Chains A and B, each alone.
Chain A
Amino acid sequence: MTAVMSRETWQKLKTRYSIYMVVIVMIIVCNALNPNFLSTRNISNIAAQISVTTILAFGETLLVICGLLDLSCGSVLALAGVLSVYIFKETGSMAVAFGAGLFFGVVCNYVNGILVRYFSIPAFIATLAMMTMARGGALLFTRGQNIYQIGDYVWFGQGQIGFIPVPVVFMVIIGIVTWYILGHTRFGRSLYAVGGNEEAARASGINIGRIKIQAYLINGAFVGLAGILLMSRTNVGAPNAGQGYEFEALTAAIIGGTSFSGGLGTAGGTLAGAFIVGFLNNIMNLLGVDSYLQQVIKGAIIALAVGYDMWAKVNRTKKSLGAVELSSKPKEAKS
């Protein structure tokens, strides 16, 4: 019996944590390919590089779990970013600029939420529209010109707290916020239920419309923050920044086990997904892989990683490994 149980536990570990195993395998392989890989500097470098898309990915995770998505985050990031930079140059206040960045992110996503809730526009279309509008807005506001000389503003993206880069600190904070929301709040439970079966969630007394709007609002704050970090990291308020980031963010979330059919996903998975993509970019750069070839390899590895994860999950229903006797008492079977 104990042997059976331990196999069962192993099976559970494998299916539940398969994505983290991919991360560990990647670390081992990358380290073998390049011994510099695991240096503190390189790792903190990678973390800083992925921080912006990872923060976006946490927002996408919340949305995709609840059956929504945000295609506009790359553009809204640019709009919120340039506005924040502009306000910093006008006021000279870091706090005001920071608040403004979040605010504009939230406003755009409030519009997303309204379109989805009150006009029943599918999230895909609503946020596609917002993607175009926000990009246009950013270009219009700056007349297509970059805003240079951003002064102290660079602290958000380039400063350090101790030896940890500020954007990494933000990434960790947002990760913890996402983890807490999903695992420990009513709102998180409702997100899973709405995404898993909207009609059942409604019949259970959950205010679906409100949940969707709230999900967009939180996403908005994340996107605004990402905008601030990106502008600051690159030293410039660039209205063209962040193009294609929505797909990078979605990729990280999906690799991390968030399901497009809704109701599934975790913060830890998304972080793992983001690191997988980050490691991949990093090692290929370290190895000097041709940048066109990099894209091909990246695509293939993404397919592989998700494929392995799916295989590990599906496999458990096919194999008879670790089956225990059916017990009528839930307590007994739990062990």
Chain B
Amino acid sequence: MTQDTVLEVKHISKSFPGVKALDDVSFSVRRGSVHVLCGENGAGKSTLMKIINGLYQPDHGETLIRGERVKIDSPIKAGELGISMIFQELNYTPEMSIEESLFAGRWPTRSLGRIDWSAIRSKTLQLLQQENLPFDPETKLKALSISNLQMLEILKAISRDADIIIMDEPTSSISNKEIETLFHKIADLRARGKAIVYISHKMDEIFRIADEISILRDGRVVETRARADFDIDSVIALMVGRALGHGYPKEEVAHGEPVLEVERFSGPTGFRDVSFRVREGEIVGFAGLVGAGRTETARALFGLDPGAHGTIKVRGRTSKIGSVQDSVACGMVMLSEDRRRFGIVPVRDVKENVTLASLAQFFRNGHLHNAMERKKVTDICERINVRMPTIDSPVGTLSGGNQQKVVLSKWMLCNPDILILDEPTRGIDVGAKFEIYKLMTSFVKERKSILMISSELPELIGMCDRIYVMAGGRITGELARAEFSQETIMRYAMNMPKAG
């Protein structure tokens, strides 16, 4: 241990029923550095961080902060020790306002324990202004999108002025521009001598900000080295235990008739005059920054948000889409970007979650076909490598990425004609991503269509046939495959197609 080490854990083990999540893990972070933690979904990254943050207790092992042995038995204790954490699964308290949530647990008080609301208000305004976030401090969290929630979480963790900041997939639902802002902040924190633990599945990010990289596999640290001693291939090989093909499994598929035509679609959630179409066999992408209105358009189209107007034609026939059931009846389904709120039923098991949207397949005359259900669920889960004790484990106990895979399996099993995917690979490890892209490819080969919203430009560029770019609630550009490039897309996303 060097003088600089602020946080060190030694020989940590932790088991859950059916899973040994951590097995004799040792790990340390130095002052003024960024330590990146990599590993497949379910490798144990979040569990380790939750132990450091006092949310879980380890079965064995010890934690040292600034060289002193400590027992972190609650997040409050962790806060006192100067640790703050951005959680992967954002804590969702719908009825809280922004200002309440920013200062939750550390509300400034006046005499008699009264909360000092005016101080909270002014501090909140100041913070929001600093960060250029155009929110009213009284806005309820339920009114915010997941990207906005994530930016708030980042703000909250950083504003605590902690010495050790843990970031568990902080960029999983924000786009390039916001990621740049975060990276500037991280650089600043590092310069100020803070220690940062950073978890991400995005390889480019990892190599941009890491000082050191540790790789976790099946609950064990298999390697820790300085960034310079790694390259992307070696990281991936160590993570998944085998070499992985580069690139995207994109195949040429003949495009048929338009299956979905949307004309002058506007809605109260902030998108205007959106027109686009999707043809048979096509993967159409939607690019844009946070707040561009992509998710809002898709949600209204799918019938989740009321009050939108415009014409929607499915296979040439005008259809009135007012509810999710209408969409499903038209063969259109949507995977939401926010799996916690709109994706999983955490207390129910994997099997029930996966078959939830396609129950009709498994019921004959209203009676459940048990064996067939188990088989189909096992097949699809194996295909995209969902790691879980059994298909009877509650989804809430799976790691974040594996929960995402469960939601994806649900929609894949549903076998629709038009599949809307909103950030489909959010939080998914590199190996499984590749399998998902392959599934998408085989899906469109069956003359079906995909509409994909993603903030990861490489993924859009790699998988799509056409990309629409949105900014400020409108479509600002449409690009054919030959015209794809990160620069062009970003220009349209900033709504400056001519500049630069």
> 0/1 per residue, B385-400, Cβ < 8 Å to A?
1111111000000000
Closest-by-CB residue of A relative to B324 is A205
Q: Are A323 and B17 in contact (CB under 8 A)?
A: yes
Q: A196-B347, A197-B344, A205-B357 are in contact. Are A330 and B59 (CB under 8 A)?
A: no
User: A200 is contacted by which of B17, B219, B344, B355 (Cβ under 8 Å)?
Assistant: B344
CB of B481 within 8 Å of the partner chain: no
Q: In the assembled complex, which residues on chain A have CB atoms less than 8 Å from the CB atom of B360?
A: 186
Distance in angstroms between the alpha carbons of A12 and B386 in the assembled complex = 22
Q: Are B17 and A263 in contact (CB under 8 A)?
A: no
User: A333 is contacted by which of B18, B324, B327 (Cβ under 8 Å)?
Assistant: B18
Which of A41-49, A130-138, A314-322 contacts the other chain? A314-322
Closest-by-CB residue of A relative to B335 is A203
Q: In the assembled complex, which residues on chain A have CB atoms less than 8 Å from the CB atom of B325?
A: 205, 207
Which of B160-168, B169-177, B361-369, B465-473 contacts the other chain? B361-369
Q: Are B18 and A323 in contact (CB under 8 A)?
A: yes
Q: Are A203 and B18 in contact (CB under 8 A)?
A: no
Distance in angstroms between the alpha carbons of A29 and B253 in the assembled complex = 71
Q: Are A205 and B368 in contact (CB under 8 A)?
A: no
Closest-by-CB residue of A relative to B218 is A326
Q: Are A186 and B366 in contact (CB under 8 A)?
A: yes
- What number of A-B contacts does a CB cutoff of 8 Å give? 125
CB of A325 within 8 Å of the partner chain: yes
Q: Are B324 and A203 in contact (CB under 8 A)?
A: yes
Q: A184-B368, A192-B348, A323-B17 are in contact. Are A205 and B328 (CB under 8 A)?
A: yes
Q: Are A204 and B16 in contact (CB under 8 A)?
A: no
Q: In the assembled complex, which residues on chain A have CB atoms less than 8 Å from the CB atom of B57?
A: 318
Q: Are A330 and B388 in contact (CB under 8 A)?
A: yes
Q: Are B341 and A200 in contact (CB under 8 A)?
A: yes
> 0/1 per residue, B76-106, Cβ < 8 Å to A?
0000000000000000000000000000000
CB of A324 within 8 Å of the partner chain: yes
CB of B226 within 8 Å of the partner chain: no
Q: Are B347 and A263 in contact (CB under 8 A)?
A: yes
Which of A189, A259, A321 has most chain B Cβ within 10 Å?
A: A189
Distance in angstroms between the alpha carbons of A316 and B18 in the assembled complex = 10
User: A184 is contacted by which of B304, B327, B348, B367 (Cβ under 8 Å)?
Assistant: B367
Q: Are A186 and B345 in contact (CB under 8 A)?
A: no
Q: In the assembled complex, which residues on chain B have CB atoms less than 8 Å from the CB atom of A185?
A: 363, 366-368
CB of B346 within 8 Å of the partner chain: yes
Q: A183-B368, A193-B348, A330-B378 are in contact. Are A200 and B343 (CB under 8 A)?
A: yes
Distance in angstroms between the alpha carbons of A202 and B324 in the assembled complex = 7
Taking residues whose C-beta sits less than 8 angstroms from the other chain, chain B's interface range is 35 or more
Closest-by-CB residue of A relative to B217 is A326
CB of A143 within 8 Å of the partner chain: no
CB distance from A177 to the nearest CB of B (A): 13
Distance in angstroms between the alpha carbons of A185 and B360 in the assembled complex = 10
Which residues of A (11-27) have their CB < 8 Å from a CB of B?
Answer: 11-12
Q: Are B16 and A317 in contact (CB under 8 A)?
A: yes
Q: A331-B382, A333-B389, A334-B390 are in contact. Are A320 and B368 (CB under 8 A)?
A: no
CB of A8 within 8 Å of the partner chain: yes
Q: A186-B359, A329-B382 are in contact. Are A200 and B345 (CB under 8 A)?
A: yes
CB of A201 within 8 Å of the partner chain: yes
CB of A39 within 8 Å of the partner chain: no
Closest-by-CB residue of B relative to A323 is B15
Which residues of B (182-219) have their CB < 8 Å from a CB of A?
Answer: 218-219
> 0/1 per residue, A177-198, Cβ < 8 Å to B?
0000001111001101100110
Q: In the assembled complex, which residues on chain A have CB atoms less than 8 Å from the CB atom of B219?
A: 326
CB of A264 within 8 Å of the partner chain: yes
CB distance from B381 to the nearest CB of A (A): 5
CB of A40 within 8 Å of the partner chain: no
Q: Are B356 and A189 in contact (CB under 8 A)?
A: yes
Q: A184-B368, A192-B352 are in contact. Are A199 and B341 (CB under 8 A)?
A: yes
Distance in angstroms between the alpha carbons of A22 and B18 in the assembled complex = 25
Closest-by-CB residue of B relative to A327 is B387
Distance in angstroms between the alpha carbons of A263 and B16 in the assembled complex = 22
Q: In the assembled complex, which residues on chain B have CB atoms less than 8 Å from the CB atom of A2?
A: none
CB of B63 within 8 Å of the partner chain: no
Q: Are A326 and B348 in contact (CB under 8 A)?
A: no
CB distance from A109 to the nearest CB of B (A): 22
CB distance from A108 to the nearest CB of B (A): 26
Q: In the assembled complex, which residues on chain B have CB atoms less than 8 Å from the CB atom of A192?
A: 345, 348, 352
Q: Are B218 and A196 in contact (CB under 8 A)?
A: no
Q: Are B342 and A320 in contact (CB under 8 A)?
A: no
Q: Are A325 and B20 in contact (CB under 8 A)?
A: yes
Q: Are B18 and A328 in contact (CB under 8 A)?
A: no
Q: Are A203 and B42 in contact (CB under 8 A)?
A: no
Q: A197-B345, A203-B343, A205-B325 are in contact. Are A322 and B17 (CB under 8 A)?
A: yes
Q: Are B356 and A201 in contact (CB under 8 A)?
A: yes
Closest-by-CB residue of A relative to B13 is A320
Which residues of B (310-325) have their CB < 8 Å from a CB of A?
Answer: 323-325
Q: In the assembled complex, which residues on chain A have CB atoms less than 8 Å from the CB atom of B15?
A: 320, 323
Distance in angstroms between the alpha carbons of A71 and B219 in the assembled complex = 48
Distance in angstroms between the alpha carbons of A264 and B17 in the assembled complex = 19
Distance in angstroms between the alpha carbons of A50 and B323 in the assembled complex = 43
Distance in angstroms between the alpha carbons of A176 and B439 in the assembled complex = 41
Distance in angstroms between the alpha carbons of A321 and B390 in the assembled complex = 17
Distance in angstroms between the alpha carbons of A186 and B373 in the assembled complex = 13
Which of A11, A196, A203, A321 has most chain B Cβ within 10 Å?
A: A203
Q: In the assembled complex, which residues on chain A have CB atoms less than 8 Å from the CB atom of B59?
A: 320
Distance in angstroms between the alpha carbons of A203 and B13 in the assembled complex = 38
Q: Are A186 and B382 in contact (CB under 8 A)?
A: no
User: B16 is contacted by which of A12, A202, A264, A323 (Cβ under 8 Å)?
Assistant: A323
Which residues of B (372-387) have their CB < 8 Å from a CB of A?
Answer: 378, 381-382, 385-387
21 A-B residue pairs with CB within 8 Å: A185-B363, A186-B359, A186-B360, A186-B363, A189-B352, A192-B345, A193-B348, A196-B345, A200-B341, A201-B356, A203-B304, A203-B343, A204-B410, A205-B325, A205-B328, A206-B356, A264-B347, A323-B18, A323-B20, A329-B382, A330-B386
Known: A196-B345, A201-B345. 14 other contacts (CB 8 A): A8-B17, A8-B18, A199-B342, A200-B344, A200-B345, A204-B356, A204-B410, A207-B325, A261-B347, A263-B345, A320-B59, A330-B382, A331-B378, A334-B390
Interface residues of B, Cβ cutoff 8 Å to A: 13-21, 42, 57, 59, 218-219, 302, 304, 323-325, 327-328, 333-334, 336, 341-348, 352, 355-357, 359-360, 363, 366-368, 378, 381-382, 385-391, 410
- Which 7 residue pairs are nearest across A and B when measured between Cβ atoms? A323-B15, A196-B345, A320-B15, A205-B328, A263-B347, A203-B342, A204-B357
